[in-house]
Every structure is written in C-alpha cells, then in structure tokens.
Amino acid sequence: MHKIRFVIMCTILLSLWACDNSASSEDALNVSSSGTAGFSREALSSSSQASVPSSSSVAIVSSSSCGPQYVYTDWASCEIDGMCGTFEDNRQTPAKSYKWTKIGNQVWMAENLAYLPSVNDLEDASSTDPVYYVYGYDGTDVDSAKAYHDSTVAYYQDFGVLYNWAAALKACPSGWHLPSSNEWDNLTAYVGDGFSAGGRLRSSSGWTSEIGATHENAYGFSLLPGGECVGEGICRWMWSSGYWWSATPYDSLRANLSEVQYYKNNMAIVHYEKSGGLSVRCVKN
C-alpha cells in the first residue's frame, strides 16, 4: 500500500513539473503567428456601432493539457501568497503605480498601460512614427488628456492609453516588455484554452453585458475593453472590444494582437494595421 501511494505521489509531482515547463516554452504553443487570418481597418470602419470579425478571421489557441496550479480567490489573498502585487513606473510625474499578477511562469501587468509621453490629435495616424491616443480626447495637451472624462468614465484613468504599434514596441517600462504572440498563447493555454480564456481573464465590470459571456477575473488580470482609435477622428468599441498589441509582426503593414470581445469567451490572436491605436499589457522580463 505504501509503495502504491509513493508511485501515485511521484506521478502527480512529475505531471506538475511537466505542466510548469510546458507553460514556459515559447515554442510549444506557436500556433497562431503563422496561420492566423486577420481583420482589416476597412472592414471595421463601415459602422460606428460595435461590430466583430467573422469567426473565420480568428485562430483559437489549442487547449493545454495542464490546468492552472494556483487558484486565485481575491487580490488580498493573492498578495499574501506572493502571487500579485504592485510596482511603480517612474517615467512620469507623479509616478504611476500598476498592479501585477503571476500566471504560470509569467508575470503580467494587471492593468492596461497608461504611459503617455505625448498625445496626438484623433486625426493623426502613422504606421512608422509613435502615436498615442486617449480615447475620445482630441488635442495635444497631456494633462488635459489625462483628465478627460464624461459623466460615466475617466478614459485615461480607467482604460489607459491606446498606442499604434510603433509606440507600443517602446512603451513598456524598464524590466518589462511588449509580449510576443507566443507569450499571449502561453497565457491563454495556462488559464484554459482559446475558447474560455477571454471569459476567465475579463474584468468583472466595465464590459457590455451579454448573456452567456463570463467575467471571472481569474488571477486578478482585469482585462478591460479600451476599444480602438484609428485616426480620421475615429475612436470606437470601448466597453465592447479589447485589443492588446503583441510584439510579433504579421507582415510589413500589420502586427499580431490578442482580442477579446464582449459577447463571447474566446481569446484569439488576430492581426491589424500597425497604425491602429490599441491597448497594451506588459509582461516582465
């Protein structure tokens, strides 16, 4: 009997070791950067209402056989367990404090990045030069952009900054970086799979409601849908769609990103024009 128990325990420990190491391999889950169909800005700009790409335009990350090893209950217990906390970005005055959370072998920012060294008019757009937007703010004064709000939302404070790809590549603070498509894939696989990760990581509030969609806020990741700004005075889909840049280019004009939408639990890698202003989450080096 003791021998049987010993064998079972060794098997469990070996399985946990295998899960931990498979989650850390960038090559193990490289399924979306090469074969993903994307969506075009022209297709999205036909309506000011929230719309979504067809299901054929996304690649669902394959499910991992290894489930999460840490069960998040709330932020206070997470901090006690050393699995989450805060850090300060001192590049601006006053310094900006961000939450972070550990998921598998990765440490992620648990908020949208809000680094704003300058701000662009909503008419501006570029595929090569850095562009920074605050959703709905049309001006070039950084302090005014940070204070911009209406009766329901403080755009900068609540949803952070929207960056074109050139800005996103340089936006993360020292010790952090813009995640690759593989790093997004590893996150998705660790928390479940591409069919459920959006619902698991989505914030419990701040999203357009939809029957059947879940808002678990697992690991305190608190994904919030900052929408997009695309130049030509157009910002759209805050509350309903979130897009987070990856550091992985798709081709000379487009780059990969991670997408979550209000009406489904999917989290998928798609690609988009580098000129688009989208949200950023940084991952620790």
In the block, residue with structure tokens 């936006």: 171
Q: What pLDDT score was predicted for residue 69? A: 63
Cβ-based neighbours of 204, under 8 Å, separated by 6 or more: 215, 216, 217
Q: What pLDDT score was predicted for residue 31? A: 31
Q: What pLDDT score was predicted for residue 54? A: 30
CA–CA separation, 168 and 189 (whole Å): 24
Find residue 84's DSSP bridge partners: 101
- pTM score of the predicted model: 0.78
Q: How would you write the pLDDT of the chain (285 residues) with one tens digit per residue?
A: 444 444 334 434 444 444 444 443 333 323 333 333 333 333 333 333 333 333 223 333 333 445 446 788 899 999 999 999 999 999 998 999 999 999 999 999 999 999 999 999 999 999 999 999 999 999 999 999 999 998 888 999 999 999 999 999 999 999 999 999 999 999 999 998 889 999 999 998 899 988 889 999 999 999 999 999 999 999 998 888 999 999 999 999 999 999 999 999 999 999 999 999 999 999 999
CA–CA separation, 99 and 75 (whole Å): 10
